[in-house]
Amino acid sequence: MDYTPYKLYNYKVKSGEDVFSIAKRLFLNEFKIKELNKLDGYTGLKAGQVLVLSNAYARNTILYIDKNHISSSPDSL
């Protein structure tokens, strides 16, 4: 039985990308990208290189913010 709380998928690196830019654009954790792909560092990726990414991080959480209240649920506003 698979207890992984997220799904993995392949991502093809584009020219000029590094782990930080991929993480920021896709709302992922850069440490998890590094760990999943057994990378030594955060730079040095090559265009066309295939990385394994997770889809479970910030995509599943929406943060609602106003000046006086921070909540992760719109029902609490």
Tens of pLDDT, residue by residue over 53-67, are 987 544 444 444 555
Contact 67, 25 (CB under 8 A): no
CA 31 to chain centre: 9
CB 37 within 8 A of CB 52: yes
Report the C-alpha gap between 68 and 53 in whole angstroms: 35
Q: Report the distance separating Cα 26 and Cα 38, nearest Å.
A: 19
Report yes or no: 36 and 54 within 8 Å, Cβ to Cβ. Answer: yes
pLDDT along the chain (77 residues), means of 10: 68 96 90 92 94 68 52 50
> How far is residue 24's CA from residue 5's CA, in Å, rounded to a whole number?
21
